[in-house]
Amino acid sequence: MQKVDVQLGQRSYPICIDTDFNDLNAELVQSKQVVIVSNPVVAGLYLTQIKKLFSKSRLEIILIPDGEAYKTLESFELIQSFLLQHQFSREVLLVALGGGVIGDLTGFVAATYQRGVRFLQIPTTLLAQVDSSVGGKTAINHVLGKNMIGAFKQPVQVLINTQVLSTLPEREFAAGMAEVIKYGLIADQDFFTWLEQNQHKIKQKDDASLAYMIKHCCQMKADIVSRDETEQGERALLNLGHTFGHAIEAYLGYGSWLHGEAVATGLVMAAKLSLSRGWLQQQEVDRIIKLLIAFNLPTLAPKGMTISDFLPYIKLDKKVLNDRMRFVLPSRFGVSKLVDDVTEQELFQVFTDGLG
């Protein structure tokens, strides 16, 4: 078992990375009330194993249909109503068993049910393991924007079993790699190079390579979250590629493209914006595109989507401050920064010849 600690004082918690589910904190095993939130696909694979962890608990299950289209206010209300109807108290432990949709949704319920209850993250997708399960961002989607309604709520533990990736569809695994690649571009050129050199082992789901990769990403995010829990500055760097990516998701309708697929194209768009400013060289942009393509990720925006289609969503982005659009851009290869001087004119100039 490998462990990463998220240092947040009284809200600190461990991320445990192993090849099974056996590292659950003893305190959580003793929980009197447990509600597991999952979807039918994941539940069919892993629910029996997770239920055994809570053999001494009063246990209930809630299944939400699979997909980003169900990360909604309706699903949020369904879970809240279930908890109220079954008279769960503030002692309840909510368990998020699934990918980012289940984790975000369950976490938002945990942040608000009776003004806050404990929740455990058991992420079953690569994207959730390296990103969304760590750091306490919880949210639901709105037709006008992704993750615009939510709260910061830290889990009590993140339990990562790398073996679940063997049952993950290849498209879902690839989507997670977009977030992995993002970490190299934010602040770790050596990690980006490692990904280039080890891409074949990663695709083969080599246990040692996956464990190293996941731990490295979790450690990077844990360090940033420990310094900036509520995204007042540095944590915004984790949104590299997301301003463009969220616009793609909202424009197409949630679920048409996977989150990681949209982020992949967003990374290329951010890189090309940096290229136009002289911060990146063409060969560096080409390296980014080549690695994304190696994992079967898109590098072009959806056909027919213009920069005019992006702008309404960009202007609703959570990073907008004092009516100024803000973007995370690579300032040089392997280093990114938050900028607030990108104009609409610059966006049109950079992307007039095609997006991505």
Whether 137 is a known active-site residue: answer yes
Of these residues, 68, 71, 118, 137, which one is catalytic?
137
| Separation between Cα atoms, residue 117 and residue 115, nearest integer Å | 7
Whether 246 is a known active-site residue: answer yes
Whether 182 is a known active-site residue: answer no
Whether 179 is a known active-site residue: answer yes
What sign does the dihedral 174-68-129-302 (CA atoms) show?
positive
CB 149 within 8 A of CB 140: yes
Of these residues, 146, 215, 216, 221, which one is catalytic?
221
Whether 239 is a known active-site residue: answer yes
Of these residues, 71, 146, 182, 235, which one is catalytic?
235
Of these residues, 242, 272, 318, 326, which one is catalytic?
242
Whether 68 is a known active-site residue: answer no
- For 132, which DSSP code? I
Of these residues, 39, 141, 161, 239, which one is catalytic?
239
Whether 284 is a known active-site residue: answer no
Whether 142 is a known active-site residue: answer no
189 CB-contact burial (10 Å; exposed 0-12 / middle 13-18 / buried 19+): middle
Alpha helical stretches, state H, the chain: 26-29, 40-53, 73-85, 100-112, 126-127, 170-187, 189-197, 199-203, 207-227, 242-252, 259-276, 282-294, 307-314, 344-351
Of these residues, 259, 272, 318, 326, which one is catalytic?
259
Quote the crossing angle between the two packed helices 100-112 and 73-85, to the nearest 10°.
50
Q: In sequence order, what DSSP letters do the residues of 138-204 get, joined into one string?
A: EEEEETTEEEEEEEE---SEEEEEGGGGGGS-HHHHHHHHHHHHHHHHHH-HHHHHHHHHTHHHHHT
Of these residues, 68, 179, 249, 284, which one is catalytic?
179
Residue 285 tokens read as 């942009």
Of these residues, 118, 146, 182, 246, which one is catalytic?
246
Of these residues, 52, 115, 303, 322, which one is catalytic?
115
Whether 3 is a known active-site residue: answer no
Whether 326 is a known active-site residue: answer no
Q: What residues act catalytically? A: 115, 137, 179, 221, 231, 235, 239, 242, 246, 259
